[in-house]
Amino acid sequence: MASHGGEVAIELLPLVRVYKDGTIERLADPPYVPPSSTPDKDTGVSSKDIVISSNVSARLFLPKATSTQKLPLLVYYHGGGFCIESAFSAVHHLYLNRLAAASGALAVSVEYRRAPEHPLPTAYDDCWEALRWVAEPTQRDPWLGEHGDFGRIFIGGDSAGANIVHNILMRVSMEELPGGLKLAGAFLTHPYFFGSEPIGSEPKHGLEQLLPYR
Ligand SMILES: *[C@@H]1O[C@H](CO)[C@@H](O)[C@H](O)[C@H]1NC(C)=O
């Protein structure tokens, strides 16, 4: 990446650098890849992108249909320190293809807004909106309507996505989902948590400035 050359305001290596003039450099953002409307040749999983609102979108992953049986639903939140990565990135596209194939779940990989342009709690709110959208019958996408088993909705995520899962689990214990739907389960992969005081080798400055959320 070409060097900006300006004065750095905040650096959270190896993820992101913010300059005093407001320029943001994402240092470790993998390339985006398109969805596969025909089944992926390795996994048989088809994918497509959908819009949930002006703020939130998602990539849907439908495993190869083996029968007319309904599939469990997995709402997935990608990781990336809240500031890099995407549901559309090569990394998460490949991972969700494999996860959908191995689990037999219809996965909804959520594209939420990232810091530092949108500090927390924006990601939490976007991810909650996506889960509500999945549960809402009047907004149901044909793939969800035809193949989804709404008695088996799971949520999961890696890293910052697992932190989001934790937040959503707290929220779902206080607020109803549309139709009174319940979550069947959740998983947190390498969950990413931090406190107000750095521990050990954690950076002394960075996260608390990027994510001014108390
Ligand atoms: C999108 O997010 C902004 C705040 O970031 C909010 O004011 C607006 O209502 C949101 N739009 C929708 C459709 O939820």
State the Cα–Cα distance between residues 97 and 76, nearest whole angstrom: 12
**Which residue, by CA, sits nearest to atom 3 of ligand 1?**
55
- Whether 59 and 116 have beta carbons less than 8 Å apart is answered as no
pLDDT tens digits, residue range 128-150? 999 999 999 888 899 999 999 99
Q: How far is the CA of 156 from the centre of ligand 1 (A)?
A: 24
pLDDT at 204: 66
**pTM, rounded to two decimals:** 0.91
**43-50 average pLDDT score:** 97
Residue 29 pLDDT > 90: no
What domains, with CATH codes, occur in the chain? 30-198 (3.40.50.1820)
- In the structure encoding, which two tokens stand for residue 171, read together? 């929220």
Mean pLDDT of the chain: 91
Atom number of ligand 1 nearest to Cα 129: 14
**172-198 average pLDDT score:** 92
Other CB atoms within 10 Å distance of the CB of residue 120: 18
pLDDT at 210: 57
pLDDT at 214: 37
Longest dimension (CA), the chain: 59
- 170: helix, strand or coil: helix
> b vs e for 42-60, b when ≥16 Cβ sit within 10 Å of the residue's Cβ?
ebebbbeebebeeebbbbb
Q: How far is the CA of 65 from the centre of ligand 1 (A)?
A: 36
**15-36 average pLDDT score:** 91
Beta carbon of 53 within 6 Å of any ligand 1 atom: yes
